[in-house]
């Protein structure tokens, strides 16, 4: 499953993500998981914040458009739904096999 391409995130997202860890006392790994971010990215943001350089992160990249952000979100959601579908297929096959006579 891929995240947002080339690590482009809004300034507001970076600030809110760092607040979860620094002010919300949430473990870095948990905050990254909840926001669907790579742990390394989250760690870099927290490190930059503590060094007072969070505002400089991402200045060299053009911001994502709303369409690009929606596309990335939709791709993540599609990957999750495909995974759930595959699990349900396997479960259905397992229970169908169990219900056949002579398989117990």
- Per DSSP, the residues of 45-92 read HHHHHHTT-GGGTTTTSPPPPHHHHHHHHHHHHHHHHHHHHHHHHHHH
Cβ atoms of 35 and 17 within 8 Å: the answer is yes
pLDDT bracket for residue 85 (50, 70, 90):
very high
Looking at per-residue pLDDT, the higher value among 101 and 46 belongs to 46
Average pLDDT, integer, range 13-28: 85
Whether 23 and 70 have beta carbons less than 8 Å apart is answered as: no
Q: Residue 38 pLDDT more than 80?
A: yes
Q: How far is CA 99 from the centre of its chain?
A: 38
In this predicted model, what pLDDT tens digit does every residue of 59-68 receive, in sequence order?
666 777 889 8
The mean pLDDT of 34-47, rounded to a whole number, is 87
Tokens of 28: 């870095």
**pTM (predicted TM-score):** 0.50
């Amino acid at each position: 499953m891929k995240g947002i391409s080339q690590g482009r995130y809004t300034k507001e997202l970076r600030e809110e993500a760092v607040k979860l860890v620094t002010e919300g006392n949430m473990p870095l790994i948990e905050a990254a998981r909840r926001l669907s971010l790579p742990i390394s990215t989250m760690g870099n943001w927290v490190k930059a914040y503590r060094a007072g350089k969070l505002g400089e992160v991402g200045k060299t990249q053009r911001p994502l458009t709303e369409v690009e952000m929606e596309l990335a979100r939709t791709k993540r959601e599609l990957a999750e739904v495909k995974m759930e579908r595959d699990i349900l297929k396997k479960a259905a096959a397992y229970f169908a096999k169990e219900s056949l006579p002579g398989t117990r």
